[in-house]
Amino acid sequence: MNKSFRTSGFIITAAAFIVFFSGVCLGFDDGDFQYWSTAKFSFELNKDWKVDFSEEFRFGDDGVELYHYFSDLGFTYKSLADWIDVGFNFRLIRERADSDSEWKQENRPHLNVSLKGKLFDLGLTNRSRFEYRDREDSEDFWRYRNKTTIKFPFELTDLKLRPYVAEEIYVDIRGDNIINRNRFYSGFSFKLSKNLDSNIFYLWQASKSGSEWKDLHILGTQLIFKF
């Protein structure tokens, strides 16, 4: 792929993002535009184990009002096989409905099993997550999440942006096993330095509330520090 083609592809994709966001119906409810910012620190303990610590902040109401943040600590075992990782995490969440609401806490331990492989040079990952939602002043319950990620085998521009897409479904395990949330990601990952990776993405999220589905349109950025 020549340089001019890579640059053109990046410009077209960026333009599509701008056009899409400009047409979003903003508001804290259905159709809200949000900004999510994540910093992750990843440490290789040895050839078998790594530990990750993440902080994320979510801003709603046109991306200006902080309504959700969490800290997540996890340990991943990598040596079962080349095609599987198993991890256990604990996430501490603080969230509020809007600026007039009280902050509520949620404790969320979760088990993650990630299957990895390649198909026609595409990088494939399928992650199954089982999480227990211990919520303040609300019912506790189990939830299952499945996320499939496809990484494309080429890079764009001199920044070496590697595009990817992903889809994630949420299943509420309370007897009815209903799918009540769906996420679609489209973005780029790239290296800023030897020990610092970055990720920028658009996320469309549809969540079921009662009998209605509500959408969020999210711009997300991630910094990943590797040690």
Closest CA to 2 of 198, 106, 165, 155: 155
The CATH number assigned to the domain holding 41 equals 2.40.160
Rg (CA), the chain: 18
* Per-residue pLDDT reduced to its tens digit, 118-127: 999 999 999 9
On whether the pTM is more than 0.75, the answer is yes
Report the alpha-carbon distance of residue 76 to residue 182 in Å, rounded: 25
**Is the backbone of residue 45 left (phi > 0), alpha (psi -120 to 50) or beta?**
alpha
* Per-residue pLDDT reduced to its tens digit, 22-70: 333 333 578 999 999 999 999 999 999 999 999 999 999 999 999 999 9
Closest CA to 38 of 65, 80, 68: 68
Report residue 115's pLDDT band, with 50, 70 and 90 as the boundaries. very high
Q: Helices marked H in the chain — which ranges? A: 3-22
How many domains does the chain divide into? 1
Report the alpha-carbon distance of residue 58 to residue 70 in Å, rounded: 9
| 162: Cα within 13 Å, side-chain hemisphere | 15
Report the alpha-carbon distance of residue 183 to residue 136 in Å, rounded: 25
Domain with 186, as residue range(s), is: 3-226
Cβ-contact 67, 90 below 8 angstroms: no
